[in-house]
Chains A and B, each alone.
Chain A
Amino acid sequence: MDKKDLFDQITEVTRNTEDLLNKLHETQSAMVEIMEENAELQIENQHLRERLKQATAAENEGTKNTKYGLSKSLQNLEKLYASGYHVCNEFYGKHRQDEEECAFCLTVIYGDR
């Protein structure tokens, strides 16, 4: 293989790589779009479900909203905790390592009041 061939080959490989990179970027931005849409839909879905629950709850009144009788704000904390974050004063907002349970958080959510 002489020098010219080598040079041509490198140019080609470079072009291919650039193409690939562009495609990767495109796919990435497409993915981000889809994820954003997904998150939006999830939130919307959740709102609709709550709406539905309210509607049905209005029909058969008198039943407590959750099985542990948590208030709305505590339910939010519970949701945060379940998605893997600390909600206790000590480590608020930190990621729970390996999903390990935290006694402080559980006391905040389910503790005596």
Chain B
Amino acid sequence: MKFTIARNTFIKKLNAVQRAISSKTTIPILTGLKIEAEEDRLILTGSNTDISIETTISTNDEEAHLNIESTGAVVLTARFFGDIVKKLPDNTMLLEVKDGFQTTITSGASEFKINGLDANNFPHLPEVDSQTTITLKADVFSEMINETVIAVSNQESRPILTGIHFTIEGNKLSAVATDSHRLSQRVINLPEPIKMPEDIIIPGKSLLELSRMLDDEIDTITLQISENQALFTFDETLFYSRLLEGLYPDTSRLIPKESSTEMEFEAPELLASIERASLLSHAGRNNVVKLTINAANKQAIISGDSPEVGNVEEEVVTKDIVGEDLEISFNPDYLKDALRSFGHTSIKMAFTSALRPFTLVPTEDQENFIQLITPVRTF
């Protein structure tokens, strides 16, 4: 195998593939990056047991200046190889594999010789043969991931909750994540109804990596699902993720249907108040702030009390309060995460009682995005 390529393009593709490669894996060959040169294209593959990324550079790509002199394949340790390529002196580089997978990388006056591995030992990527293809706007999907992934559980003791649960009903794609303390649900409208055989659960970590790869240049992304794999395709890149097996708990019953107290406010205003109140709650032992709502006076007060440190009290700027008086305590970090995901928008918060979870929805578009937070019992 022998080829020359523009280093800039190569680094960009290398960075994408490296997201899937972990230096801490029990399978040695997976610390490597597979490079495969065909007649008219170069294929880079990286994989850990959860996700696999494959990306292609074509000889037609003008920026890449790819010139393949002979075909072949090799696996190189990703960490060294990545560092070497990034530090090479010249704009172009030449890579040549000789007998025994001895690989020479030449650029300008510099020449590296590193030991490669046999590419035949690299695991084959899963085959996804599915009739259902879902096409999504990349920016919308990326937003959907970022809004729900905050509520994913990071406790491996409950594997099913470490994923985001996707379901399709008619032309509505919904994503739900919960760690049982809070929940985030986002629904997006698809241009046309799609039949998906079953609901799927994709690990939150995989989706986070995927959303980091979706930059402004990518317009649409397609999703295909097989029995235990999801395949996302965008540009010349294929992103495979394992699916989580099992039944996702029924989350629809968690969301209260009625409310006794409602409060409206601007997300950044409450976020700032909560951030101040959490300064003290973080210092104390129990991380809790209290929200006291006086409906008659249209007044909402946030307070934090840490016996060892001190206390804080602040009136929140609200747009409207209706319903009954209420006193409710909760973990401020959950509310911070939720409010950040809303960005600059007006929010409606709805409570049923001091013991039941409360919800946050954007005032506009109340149907499609909901965040739910469980209060803390303080008695």
Interface SS of chain A: helix, strand, loop or mixed? loop
B355 in contact with A97 (CB, 8 Å): no
Contact of A103 among B158, B254, B257, B258 (CB under 8 A): B254
**Which 8 pairs across A and B sit closest by C-beta, in order of nearness?**
A101-B374, A103-B374, A102-B180, A90-B249, A103-B357, A110-B356, A110-B355, A103-B254
Residues of B within 8 A of A62 (CB): none
Q: Out of A91, A103, A107, A111, name the residue touching B181 (CB < 8 Å).
A: A103
Q: Is the interface of B mostly helix, strand, loop or mixed?
A: loop
What CA separation (Å) do A84 and B256 show in the bound complex? 24
Which B residues lie at the A interface, using CB under 8 A?
155, 158, 178, 180-183, 249, 253-254, 256-258, 353, 355-357, 372, 374-377
Interface centre among A89, A103, A110 (most CB of B within 10 A): A103
Q: Which of A19-48 contact B (CB under 8 A)?
A: none
Residues of chain B lying within 8 A (CB to CB) of residue A101 = 181, 374-377
**Complex CA distance for A3 and B285, rounded to whole angstroms:** 56
Asked whether, in the complex, the Cβ of B377 is within 8 Å of the Cβ of A103, the reply is: no
- Minimal beta-carbon separation of A107 from chain B (angstroms): 5
Using A106-B357, A110-B356, A112-B258 as known contacts, say yes or no to A90 and B180 having CB atoms under 8 A apart: yes
Tally of A interface residues using CB under 8 Å: 18
Interface residues of A (CB under 8 A from B): 68, 82, 88-91, 97, 100-104, 106-107, 109-112
Instruction: Return A112 CB to nearest CB of chain B, in Å.
Output: 6
**Given A89-B249, A91-B158, A106-B355 contact (CB < 8 Å):** yes
Residues of A close to B181: CB separation below 8 A: 100-103
Distance from A39 Cβ to chain B, minimum over Cβ atoms (Å) = 23
Check B254 against A104 for contact (C-beta < 8 Å): yes
A102–B377 Cα gap in the complex (Å)?
11
Q: Which of A68, A101, A102, A109 has the most CB of B within 10 A?
A: A101
